[in-house]
Amino acid sequence: MGGVGSLKRYSTFSTRRSFLRIGALAPWCMARVGGLGAYEGPSFGTAKSCILLWLDGGPSHLETFDPKIDVPREVQGPLGTTPTSIPGVHFSGELGRCAKLADQMTIIRSMTSPLGEHGLANQYALSGYLPSPNVQYPSFGSLASHQRALDWKNPLPRSIGIPEPRIGHGAGFLGVGDEPFWVHSDPGSPSFQVRDLEIHPSLDPSRLERRREMLGRLQDTQKGPGFQGAFEWILSPQAKRAFDLKQESDATKERYGLRSFGQSCLLARRLVEQRVPFVTVVQPGWDTHENMVVPLRDGFAGAKVGVGLIPTFDQAASALIEDLLQRGLLDETLVIAMGEFGRTPKVNTRGGRDHWPRVYSVMLCGGGLPRGVVYGSSDRIGESPIDHPTTPSDLVHTLLVRLGVRPDQTLLTPEGRPIRVNQHGRPIDALL
């Protein structure tokens, strides 16, 4: 499959200023074709915000949301199982906190894809389109961000990524104005700081204000809106507060977990409280080809308390869901935990699992979705879907409906090529 060169274009800009400056030149870089009349159905647009917990590398469905019981040890793996708040449903033994919240979730256990290479699978999972050498398709997050472009008055970006970008999360042919703003800093670090959010020490606020007034008198209508947005960003108390984790109590920080992923999830909650439409939190490290117990459970060799990927995810994701529920935000905030594919049913000779796109799982919560639902299933050993096979195109179609984006809408690329928002997906009726 072609288009390898295009896979590297996942971070088109590096600063908030360049995002605003370039994006202002063409806030809607392509035309819309067809009407935007009311989409029929009460499920449309129920999610006002979305938090995507991206488990980068391909999380094992057998060690997360689809563990197997009464199967050979090489299939079951080393982490065991735990019952959930949904009768008869089990999660991984390391997902005890999430298991108690399963009655708030929708679990899809029948995701299936033909792509087992990270970059290509990322693009398919996030756009709903098989990668093409001719068109760079936008992620569903960028589509959700784009939908809000014309009426967006918030100084915060419409899409924010924490901490570093990954392949497939970009805006594709939508252009730079719909790219996520990546913070490029670790919220779990004492030195966490969002670039371009602070005024340079040599520039006092009054001097900056004079510059803004001078800019307002310029006749360059192309650059003006972008620079104006940059000024609003730098001077905005709302933006500074949203990113200021010092406003959270030590108890809250500890409840999420003090590592990068935990504090990133806490920051994501703060951002959706400020009505940011789309927030991506990346947890890298899920490509566990060997000795998977160490990265998944322990965190490091000889650990007495598990601080690996799964306990860290369990603590942070459960705290996030609990907070959104307690604050009355869960019904309008869609939380998604997913990666690009699953892992092989059998543990390999190196104590790990290899890439397996034939079947994998996705966790969904909030945003108006039904609660306490397990949709689809895999076979006895987690090798193939046997009930309601669901493609990334189907999932993206369904998520777009919840996020208020019409899947039947047609967009034009800068070259004038019409592209349907979602061409091949079918709605998952049970989730709508």
Strands in 187-346 per DSSP E: 278-283, 333-338, 342-343
The band of 214, judged by pLDDT with boundaries at 50, 70 and 90, is: low
Residue 39 token pair: 């989409």
Give dist(CA 31, CA 127) in Å, integer.
19
Residue bearing tokens 């159905």: 41
Q: Containing domain of residue 419, as a range?
A: 5-431
Q: How many alpha carbons lie under 13 Å from residue 161 in its C-beta half-sphere?
A: 27
Give dist(CA 268, CA 266) in Å, integer.
5
The packing angle between helices 224-235 and 16-25, to 10°, is 150
Give dist(CA 198, CA 208) in Å, integer.
12
Residues 96-136 have pLDDT tens digits of 999 999 999 999 999 999 999 999 999 999 999 999 999 99
Our measurement of the distance from residue 206's CA atom to the centroid of its chain's CA atoms, rounded to an integer in Å, reads 38
pLDDT of residue 314: 99
Residues 310-361 have pLDDT tens digits of 999 999 999 999 999 999 999 999 999 999 999 999 999 999 999 999 999 9
Query: Which 3-state string (H, E, C) describes 312-361?
Result: HHHHHHHHHHHHHHHCCCHHHEEEEEECCCEECCCCCCCECCCEECCCEE
Structural element, H or E, at residue 264: helix 260-273
Residue 230 token pair: 């940059």
Q: What mean pLDDT is predicted for residues 179-186?
A: 96
Give dist(CA 283, CA 52) in Å, integer.
11
Q: What's the total number of domains in the chain? A: 1
List residues bridging with 108 in a β-sheet: 362, 375
Q: What mean pLDDT is predicted for residues 415-432?
A: 96
Q: What mean pLDDT is predicted for residues 176-205?
A: 86
Query: Helix, strand or coil for residue 217?
Result: coil
149 neighbors 27 (Cβ within 8 angstroms): yes
- Residues of the chain with pLDDT > 90, as a percent, come to 78
Q: Name which of 6, 24, 31, 103 is nearest 366 in CA terms.
A: 103
Our measurement of the distance from residue 64's CA atom to the centroid of its chain's CA atoms, rounded to an integer in Å, reads 18
Using a 10 angstrom Cβ sphere, with 0-12 exposed, 13-18 middle and 19 or more buried, the burial of residue 159 is buried
Give dist(CA 97, CA 319) in Å, integer.
9
Residue 223 has pLDDT above 90, yes or no: no
Tally: H helices and E strands in the chain: 13, 17
Backbone angles phi, psi at 407, to 5 degrees: -65, -25
Q: What is the pTM of this model?
A: 0.88
pLDDT of residue 3: 34
Residues 59-71 have pLDDT tens digits of 999 999 999 999 9
Residue 189 token pair: 């670090």
Domain CATH for 28: 3.40.720
Residues 245-297 have pLDDT tens digits of 999 999 999 999 999 999 999 999 999 999 999 999 999 999 999 999 999 99
